[in-house]
Amino acid sequence: MKRILCTLALCTVPFLSACKKSGEAAGGDDQLTIAFLPKSKGNQYFVTCEKGARAAATELGAELLFDGPTTSDPAKQNEIVENWISLGVDVIAAAAENKDGLSTALRKAQAEGIKVITYDADAQPDARTFFVNQATEKGIGDALLDNAAALVGKEGEFAIITANLTASNQNAWIAAIKARQAELYPNMKLVDIKPCDDLKDKAQQETTNLLSAHPNLKAVISVCSPGVPGAAEAVKQAGKTGVVKVVGLGLPSENKAYVKEGVTQAVILWKVEDLGYLTIQAAAALAKGELKPGATEFKAGKLGTMKIEGDNILLGTPFAFTKENIDQFDF
């Protein structure tokens, strides 16, 4: 049966080299079929996720179906899930482009006996068993401020560049930064928070203004990814490379040049490949019944034991990309 499904899938799903290979290796009906849904498949971030997912699937001897919209398209995500339901996959791991939209499709999958897990962007809690959480709000806020604090010797003024003043993710991270500062770094002072509308050039202009308005500024923390290179360019143009530290949440590839020049000291993000790996490990364990609701920890192959809080499987503390290690990452 699985072999027929496999052939069927070949007609509709492009990325299936693993399907044939693992199908031969494991054989039989007890081989797992794991469907892996990214927000969009042309996106470097999810391509990197897929790399980790493939590694896990190979270790587990499971079939991995990888498909997603070519561009952000919630309707296309639903369509793909519907296809997987009729294919009869064992478990679906999904990153939701639209929380409510995808939840409906995922509930339908659950009703058909398919296990569902989400990663990167959660669906409604009743539409999945677990969410693989790449980083908690507190985890991100703490990592950003801890890195900045270490760079400035735990004292001095700092400013924040955010996406816009109403972005809920960013505001949660900023709240975490403020709480951490009050708790651990009494000699640091947040002097301003500026929105950059997710535009690098606006972030640069805002940072230029911050630098001249606050001559004692010691660090700029950007909580949105276009803001990190923008802030770095402003610091560089102001001739304050190394004097004013730049830390932010972003992709290594967008910041490599500034990190190597010493303008940006740390770029914070989770290891995206590990996110894909952990998701597939968890999906397989869930499908096999080894991972059940209520568990507090979970052994994820080479990553070791991962903590579970409620129904969130935690990838752990975010990673800091610095001058020393940034060359090893290409996403």
| Binding-site ranges for another protein (CB under 8 A) | 40, 42-44, 70-71, 165, 191-195, 197-201, 204-206, 208-213, 215, 226, 229, 233-234, 237-239, 253-254, 257
Dihedral (Cα; 43, 44, 49, 52), 10-degree rounding: 140
Q: How far is the CB of 42 from another protein (least distance, A)?
A: 5
Residue with smaller CB distance to another protein, 48 or 133: 48
Distance between CA atoms of 303 and 300, rounded to whole angstroms? 5
CB 117 within 8 Å of CB 286: yes
DSSP 252-296: HHHHHHHHHHTSEEEEEE--HHHHHHHHHHHHHHHHHTSS-TT-S
Distance between CA atoms of 99 and 259, rounded to whole angstroms? 35
Residue with smaller CB distance to another protein, 135 or 232: 232
Residue with smaller CB distance to another protein, 165 or 182: 165
Residue with smaller CB distance to another protein, 79 or 254: 254
Q: How far is the CB of 204 from another protein (least distance, A)?
A: 7
Q: How far is the CB of 133 from another protein (least distance, A)?
A: 23
CB 136 within 8 Å of CB 314: yes
Residue with smaller CB distance to another protein, 97 or 206: 206
Helix/strand/coil (H/E/C) assignment for every residue in 41-94: CCCHHHHHHHHHHHHHHHHHCCEEEECCCCCCCHHHHHHHHHHHHHHCCCEEEE
Q: Residue 40: name the closest of 63, 2, 69, 83 by CA.
A: 69
Residue with smaller CB distance to another protein, 44 or 86: 44
Q: How far is the CB of 56 from another protein (least distance, A)?
A: 25
CB 247 within 8 Å of CB 147: yes
The crossing angle, in degrees rounded to 10, of helices 44-60 and 17-26 is: 10
What type of residue is 41? K
Residue with smaller CB distance to another protein, 3 or 178: 178
Q: How far is the CB of 226 from another protein (least distance, A)?
A: 6
Q: How far is the CB of 131 from another protein (least distance, A)?
A: 24
Q: How far is the CB of 276 from another protein (least distance, A)?
A: 18
Burial class (CB in 10 A: 0-12, 13-18, 19+), 76: middle
Q: How far is the CB of 142 from another protein (least distance, A)?
A: 25
Residue with smaller CB distance to another protein, 25 or 257: 257
Distance between CA atoms of 62 and 34, rounded to whole angstroms? 7
Q: How far is the CB of 117 from another protein (least distance, A)?
A: 25
For the chain, the first-to-last Cα distance in angstroms comes to: 38
CB 259 within 8 Å of CB 232: no
CB 76 within 8 Å of CB 47: no
Residue with smaller CB distance to another protein, 130 or 329: 329
